């Protein structure tokens, strides 16, 4: 038997609770992992609360991240005792995920846990930090350099934003953080933000083109915020878009793209190819100051994760939530 957060839906309603499950209930897969840590992400919070149709089949164990040790394997790349981690691949949506003490998965979804990280540290980074690294890599790929000017990070006090600020600052960029929580300004400055702006500057309807300011941007908000960010990019600036905390719509015009040559680069972490995942985690090992993880994250248990889910959706949770699944 093992403990897990289980989401159920039937004629009596939608509910999530900590349950004791039997190994025989685990879904098919060629690798079974003894999970040590998982995370609570925005998508997990949507799943646990039922606020969006994230879960595609029931019952479901949420958790798009996990770190642990292989217990048994029929996959040629993994042996019992190997330390592994997982991000995405629809886990927690269509396949039981990491908010449990055990997970049975496809070995192709796993990557080795980098030697630079403990399982707790890897989950303090998690999908949010790995996504932030993909954004930074995209900015670099499209030619944005520290000397080009300021880089804006929206939703900066959240999981993706926090790691993005820390990464960009350590790489020498001048980072400006936008947040709806002005009380987190000191926190963002500790992570390396040179300036902290109120998100309200970006939430109202804007002009098709505004004053040029940003050489690059990492946006996790979407909607009107992303539209206004695009409108205020420098000539040939690059925006990486990886979230929809403000909505799925994009009330923008083509003006920034055809008059300023702005690039809008979409970032997907869920189905990202293995080679890019490995590169992102290698870069995290070299480019992220692990001392920052203490500021960025806190660790809770399965039951507390359930309580924190609605708080995360309402913007009351700062940084990263690591879940120790073994109290």
195 and 152, same domain (yes or no):
yes
According to DSSP H, which parts of 142-214 are helical?
A: 159-170, 185-191, 200-203
305 and 223, same domain (yes or no):
no
pLDDT, tens only, 83-97? 999 999 999 999 999
What's the pTM value of the predicted model, to 2 decimals?
0.93
Give the residue-averaged pLDDT of 141-162. Answer: 96
Is the pLDDT confidence value at 327 over 80?
no
Give the residue-averaged pLDDT of 45-58. Answer: 93
For residue 258, give its domain range. 125-266
Give me the number of domains the chain comprises: 2
166 and 103, same domain (yes or no):
no
pLDDT, tens only, 104-135? 999 999 999 999 999 999 999 999 999 999 99
Peptide bond into 59 cis (omega under 30): yes
Asked whether the beta carbons of 38 and 325 are under 8 A apart, the reply is yes
Q: b/e string for 23-43 if b means 16 or more Cβ within 10 A?
A: eebbeebebbbbbbbbbbbbb
130 and 232, same domain (yes or no):
yes
pLDDT, tens only, 157-214? 998 999 999 999 999 999 999 999 889 999 999 999 999 999 999 999 999 999 999 9
Q: Check which CATH number belongs to the domain holding 44 and give it.
A: 3.90.180.10
Strand 195-198 with 214-219, pairing: unpaired
130 and 260, same domain (yes or no):
yes
């Amino acid at each position: 038997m093992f403990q897990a957060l289980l989401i159920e839906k039937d004629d009596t309603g939608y509910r999530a609770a900590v349950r004791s499950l039997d190994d025989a209930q685990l879904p098919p897969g060629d690798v079974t992992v003894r999970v040590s840590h998982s995370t609570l992400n925005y998508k997990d919070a949507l799943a646990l609360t039922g606020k969006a149709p994230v879960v595609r089949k029931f019952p479901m164990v949420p958790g798009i991240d996990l770190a642990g040790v292989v217990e048994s394997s029929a996959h040629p790349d993994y042996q019992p005792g190997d330390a592994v981690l997982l991000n995405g691949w629809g886990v927690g949506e269509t396949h039981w995920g990491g908010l449990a003490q055990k997970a049975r998965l496809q070995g192709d979804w796993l990557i080795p846990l980098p030697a630079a990280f403990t399982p707790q540290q890897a989950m303090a980074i998690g999908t949010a930090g790995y996504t932030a690294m993909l954004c930074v890599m995209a900015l670099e790929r499209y030619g944005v350099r520290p000397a080009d000017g300021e880089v804006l990070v929206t939703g900066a006090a959240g999981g993706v934003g926090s790691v993005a600020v820390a990464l960009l600052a350590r790489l020498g960029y001048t980072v400006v953080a936008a947040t709806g929580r002005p009380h987190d300004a000191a926190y963002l400055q500790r992570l390396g933000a040179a300036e902290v702006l109120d998100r309200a500057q970006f939430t109202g309807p804007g002009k098709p083109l505004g004053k040029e300011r940003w050489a690059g941007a990492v946006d996790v908000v979407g909607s009107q915020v992303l539209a206004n960010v695009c409108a205020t990019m420098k000539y040939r600036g690059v925006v990486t878009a990886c979230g929809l905390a403000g909505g799925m719509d994009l009330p923008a015009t083509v003006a920034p793209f055809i008059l300023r040559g702005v690039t809008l680069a979409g970032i997907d972490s869920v189905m990202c190819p293995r080679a890019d995942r490995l590169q992102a985690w290698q870069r995290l090992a070299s480019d992220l100051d692990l001392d920052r993880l203490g500021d960025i994250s806190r660790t809770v248990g399965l039951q507390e994760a359930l309580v924190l889910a609605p708080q995360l959706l309402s913007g009351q949770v700062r940084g990263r939530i690591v879940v120790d699944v073994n109290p």
